[in-house]
Each structure stands twice: as C-alpha cells, then as structure tokens.
Amino acid sequence: MKHLLLLFLFMWVVPLFAQSEQLPSPRGKYVRFLLCHDGTTYAATGGGVCISHDHGIHWAFSNSGLASLDTKSLARIGDTVFVSTDENVFRTTNGGQSWEPCGAELQGFYCKHILAHNGILFVGTYLRGIWRSTDRGNSWQHVSDGFPVDYAYYLSAHGDYVFASTYLQGCYRSSDNGEHWESCNTGLTETTGISIYAFGNRLFMSTLSGSLFTSDDDGAHWTASSGLPSIKAFCSWQDTLYAASFGQGIYYSTDNGSNWSHPATIPNATSLWSIAVDESTVYLGLDNGTVATSDHIGSNGHICDMAPFNATIGGLAFWGNRLIATSHGSNLFYTDNLGENWTGGNVGTVEIRSILVHNNTVLVGTDMLGAFRSTNGGGSFSAVNNGLSTNWIQCFAATDSQIYAGSGNAGVFVSTNDGQSWQSAGLPGFEIRSMAASARGLYAATDHGLYFLPIGSNSWQGIGGEEVGEQPTAVAHIHDSLWVGTRDRGLFYYDETGDRWGSCPGYENEPIRCVLASEQGFVVAGLEHGRWAQINLSNASASALGNLDINYPILTVAEGPDSQLYFGTPVGIFRCPPFENVGISVCGQTTTSHIAPNPCHGQTVVSVPDGGAEISIINSIGKTIANYQTCDGICNINELAAGIYLVRIKSKQGTEVHQLIVGGRR
C-alpha cells in the first residue's frame, strides 16, 4: 500500500448505488427553550425547531435551512425569530417555514443563548465570548471587554443592563450594550449560574446545585432565596412569574417571587428544561424531548402529541461488537444489537463532542466537563481531567503508547497512562478540530491551519499552507498518506514518502466534516447533504460518491467489525457497505442526468431532466476549466481537447459527477 498515491492524474468520480439502511437510532432529548409569538409556539429541541399554531395541540418540526439540529435558544425582533445552535445563529421571517444562517462571524461557533433587547441581539457562546448584532443578525461584533469567561450560559436584560450568568464564574453585567462587562457576584455563594431572569424590579438567578438568588439592585448585591428547587428557566405573564423546576414541575408567584405556589404536578411532566406562556397556555419543555401544557395556574395539564426525534450523532466507535454513539445535546448511548435496544450512558453532561476506543479503554470528550474514561464499554465513566487546563475536549488520537486529546481552546494534551492523566503537548490557545497519528508524528487540524509534531520533537510545524488553507476540519492517516478535509476547499492528500500534496478532483469547494482511513485500503470523507466520498487506494484512478438521501451533513463515520460503514448524522445513524469496486453501487438516489455522445470528439450534450443546473468541467489535474448554467435542462459543451474530464452537475436533485472521455478530432 505504500506507494499507491498516483497523484490522481486520471481520477474520476462515479456516482454509484448500494443498499443503505437507517438503524434504529437513539432518541433525542430535551426541549431547551420555548418562545410564543403571534399565535405560534416555537420549541428549540435536540432535533431542531418544533412549531405549534394551535396552543400545543399539534406540533411539527420545521428545520428547512438549519445546518444544525442541536438548537439551544430562541429570541425575536418584530416578526423575525432567531434560533441559536451549536454551529451558528439562524433566523426565519416566515414563521419557521424556512431558516437562513445569520452573519458569517459566528460560523462554527457554539452559540448557547440568544437575547433580544431594545432591538439588539446578544449571543453568549462557549469559548468565544459574547457577540452583538445591531442589524438583525446580518453582522456580528465581538463584545467581551471585561468578560474573561469561557462559558456564557444564559442572558437577560433589565433597564440599561444586560446580564450573563456563566459556568464557574458567576454573573456579569454590562451597562453599555455589551461594550464593557463587570463581575457582579457580591452575595453569590455559588458561581455556576443556570438561568437568569428579570421580573419587576427584581433579578432572579438559579444555580447548578439547585439554589436560587435574587437581587433588587441590578446584580450589585445578591441574597439567597428558598422554596424553589433546581430551576432551569423562568417566564412571566402580566403580574405572574413562572419557574420550571428540574424534578418538581411548575411553580408560580404573584408577588414578585416572595411566595411561590406549586400546583399538582402534571403526570410525567416534572423534569422541566424550559417554560413559556401566552394569553391562555403555559408551555413546559421536558427532558425527554416533549412538551406539556397547562392553564395559567398549572391545572388541566397534559403531555402534547409531539413526534419523537433522533439524536444528533457526532461520534461513533465500536468496543468489540458494541456500538457507542455520542451526541450533540442528548448525552451518550450504546447498543449490543445494532440499535434494537439502546442503553443511555451517564457522563454528567448532554454534550459529548468526541470518542476514542483504544485497547480496552473508552474515552469521551465533553464541551464543559473535560474528559471521561470507561473500562467497561461505556457502562460507567469517571472524570479524568488531571493535567487538563480546559473543560472542552474535541478530539482524540492514539499511538501504541500514547493518547492525545485535542481541546477547543487550549491546544493538545498527551497521556502515557491510558488517559488517566495528561500534560500539555503544545499549541496553547488553538482550537484542535481533528488529529491523526503516524509513525512520523502527530497531525492536527486547527483554527490556525494544519500542524505537524515530529516524533521526539516539542516544536509544531505549520504545513500544507497554500494547498490546505486556514480551515482544515478533519484529518486521517493511513500508511504513508495523510488525508485532510477542509471547510471550504474540499479534500487533500499528502504523500509522506515523496513530500507531495494533491487535491481530489470532484470535491473542490466541498465542506468536509469527517475523514476515515481504513486498513482495508480506502478513505471515506463525509460531505454535506448526506453525501460521502470513497477513495479506493488500490485503484487510485477512480473514486465513488455515495448518498444517504438526507439533507444534512455527515458528522462522523466509523468502520464496524462487520466491515460496513456507520455514519452519524443530525437525524440518526446509517449503515452502508463500502464500495468493493468503483462502478458498482452507491447509497441513495439514482443518476438522472445524461451525457451523449460519450465518448465524444470535442462536442457533447448534457441533459438534465428536471431543468436548471450548474455544470462544471474539470480536467485531469483537478482544475475547473469551464462553467455552464442551464435553465431548460440542455447544455451544449463544445471545443474540448482530447482527454479525460469530470462533468459535475448540480441540480435540485443533488450533485452528480460523470466521467467524460474526449477523443481526437475526426
């Protein structure tokens, strides 16, 4: 396998078809936020945004345009509704029928909570501070002067103040629309805030341990309160303040929180994550991913008929025959029978960002609790954060004797005792998106580009500059070749033996979410819109393009003990066999476009049955030499020199790539 990279001078992409199946997937959880506006109720869940137009009687998911279904919070300005996700902020101006991303400044950021105050939007992020928009999300400005906090958990506003409750560092406030921030923790005996809410002239802040604090002077001083256990969220209607308890259901107060009433609990509706109210109904978001409703005094409650949804799967790994799935927003699961039964794991947080199985050890990385370790296949975990200077572990890589952990904000860490303790391995302050180990050293895809740490060295080297660019997203290594996926430039490879870089024709400008290198001799790259590419190293003259027939990106891919491919997506887990030979089969829809004649002699016609399409001609070294557009489904291609080309056709049916052979002139 060592010298199989032929620089792909005659590589072509063939859309193929194989039988894929969606496995019974772990159910998603948590309704994290509720918003009522103009007769419509929006629910931000682990499966996207669910909407009701009849006070909770009927619900339907409305996710068109959302790149992430791990939705966090909601806000509105006028008739524009905004939703924060773990990848960006999105907005709708048509009642949720479709969504569009807001400004590019927040692309790829974990946007925890969004607040609309006096026509201005504020977003609290994980690891990236607080951001502000004065033009309804078209553009964003970083406003974190005096806010040295990794985790902005919840935002609120009262008068001239904007408040942020944080994880580990208490409460902060700004009196100048976020330009400057100051700590306001006097009287707070607990520094991990959950929800913060202003009602009347009083500020309420709940904490992780279940305590409640109030302030009557805009956060200058706090007083411990009593009578409310584990409050996740507040809302209000006229002179009534409502509180959602995780474990005890709904509470309400008509005297500004001095006294609280606790109506009879609604059956199966006590573990609340969110709450909202309109003129007739109180809405309760539950931890199991459903909504309950009641009247204004908490009576006549019932569970709404909301369709279940699958968890967003961001990590997959096998421990023997056990499949372990980590999710964005719904915790961790494992199955011993490929999804017929799932068992929920317990890692202490809902966001599991990464997973590694190494020897008998399972390691997972979380967004705010660091790393956890299991030696019984995910049945139980213990925290292993000794030596880590960060709580966000985003990726892992391993050699025979070392395990590396890549963080979201503090570089790389290494363990020589199977993940039980760590020490820094460099790149402090970098976001490490993916890592791959080889016999030569460690490769890391970061927010500053691609880096390499040679064996025995303490100095990282920037590599692949002009070829890869500044946005590598995923790396994988097999034998003497490194494979690099990027956010906006497609898939690249590096031949270590010849010190040569190359790109994979047919995937230019494609966002790559994940890359897998298989010892069976192929590489798989996860693309957008449920598509995946397989490059067979034993036949470097061709690759194959598969499709899971979903409109969401492939977030992760793993190889099972059955030699099949397992794909994690925002809508669950899919399984598909790899291609044995280029030209046999692919998961997804059938090819619809047609090129004739092919082979040709410089002139041919591309036919697209469903009309409009963008057509690109790519030569044998991967360069796009011509672009065409057709509205009527017919495109005449003229004056091509003899050679082998790719014809990439983007239509509403998806993307197809065909090989075109042009012979000499007659």
Residue 587 has pLDDT above 70, yes or no: no
- pLDDT of 630: 87
Same domain, 458 and 606: no
CATH of the domain at 504: 2.130.10.10
CA-derived radius of gyration, the chain:
26
CB atoms within 10 A of CB 454: 12
At residue 541 the predicted structure's pLDDT band, cuts being 50, 70 and 90, is very low
Distance CA 34, CA 36 (A): 7
For residue 2, is pLDDT > 90?
no
**Are 355 and 501 in the same domain?**
yes
Residue 66 structure tokens: 């959302």
Q: Is 588 domain-assigned?
A: no
pLDDT for position 620: 55
Q: What is the pTM of this model?
A: 0.85
Higher pLDDT, 259 or 8: 259
pLDDT at 259 over 80: yes
Among the three residues 303, 335, 364, which one is the final residue of a domain in this structure? 303
Contact 245, 252 (CB under 8 A): no
Res 599: pLDDT: 83
Q: Is residue 67 part of a domain?
A: yes
CATH number of the domain residue 605 falls in: 2.60.40.10
How many H-runs (helices) and E-runs (strands) does the chain carry? 1, 63
pLDDT in tens, 115-137: 999 999 999 999 999 999 999 99
Q: Give the pLDDT confidence score for residue 665 in this predicted structure.
A: 56
Return the pLDDT at 508.
Answer: 75
So what's the pLDDT on residue 540? 42
Q: What is the mean pLDDT of residues 217-233?
A: 93
Count of beta carbons in the 10 Å neighbourhood of residue 65: 15
Instruction: Return the pLDDT at 443.
Output: 98
- Report the candidate in 206, 280, 216, 191 with the shortest Cα–Cα distance to residue 244: 206
Residues 18 and 43 in one domain: no
Residues 367, 290 within the same domain: no
Q: Residue 42 falls within a domain, yes or no? A: yes
What is the predicted pLDDT for the residue at 334? 96
- Kindly state whether residues 599 and 519 are assigned to the same domain: no
User: What is the strand order of the sheet 542-547 is part of?
Assistant: 12-15, 542-547, 531-536, 522-526, 514-518
Per-chain mean pLDDT for the chain: 90
Q: What is the mean pLDDT of residues 155-171?
A: 96
In this structure, the answer to whether residues 599 and 531 fall within a common structural domain is: no
Any idea which of 17-21, 30-34, 423-427, 583-587 has the lowest mean pLDDT?
583-587
Q: CB of 116 within 8 A of CB of 101?
A: no
The continuous run of DSSP H or E covering 503 comes out as strand 500-503
Q: Which of 171-180, 269-278, 336-345, 637-646 has the lowest mean pLDDT?
A: 637-646
615 shares a domain with 534: no
Burial class (CB in 10 A: 0-12, 13-18, 19+), 600: middle
For residue 382, pLDDT beyond 70:
yes
Tell me the two tokens of residue 523.
């590489």
DSSP characters over 155-212: EEEETTEEEEEESSS-EEEESSTTSS-EE--TT-S---EEEEEEETTEEEEEETTS-E
Domain interval for residue 451: 12-22+310-574
For residue 597, whether the previous peptide bond is cis, meaning omega lies within 30 degrees of 0, is yes
State the pLDDT at residue 182: 97
Looking at 303, 325, 357, the residue that finishes a domain is: 303
- Answer yes or no: do 324 and 236 share one domain: no
In this prediction, residues 70-98 reach a mean pLDDT of 97
Look at residue 603 and tell me if it is in a domain: yes
Strand partners for 475: 484
pLDDT score, position 638: 85
Together in a domain, 115 and 68: yes
Residue 8: predicted pLDDT: 36
589 part of a folded domain? no
Q: How many domains does the chain have?
A: 3
Q: Determine what percent of the chain is predicted with pLDDT higher than 70.
A: 93
Residue with tokens 């976001």: 431
**pLDDT tens digits along 549-565:** 899 999 999 999 999 99
**584 domain residue, yes or no:** no
Last residue within a domain, chosen from 276, 303, 330: 303
What's the average model confidence in pLDDT over 259-275? 92
pLDDT at 349: 87
Average pLDDT over residues 594-614: 86
Same domain, 416 and 472: yes
Residues 618 and 539 both lie in one domain: no
pLDDT of the residue at 655: 66
Whether 240 is in a domain gets the answer yes
Residues 553 and 515 in one domain: yes
pLDDT confidence of residue 666: 54
As given in the structure block, the two tokens for residue 384 are 């292993």
Judged by average pLDDT, the poorest of 191-200, 280-289, 396-405, 502-511 is: 502-511
Give percent of the chain above pLDDT 90: 70
Q: How confident is the model at residue 185 (pLDDT cuts 50, 70, 90)?
A: very high
pLDDT at 582: 41
Q: Is residue 195 part of a domain?
A: yes
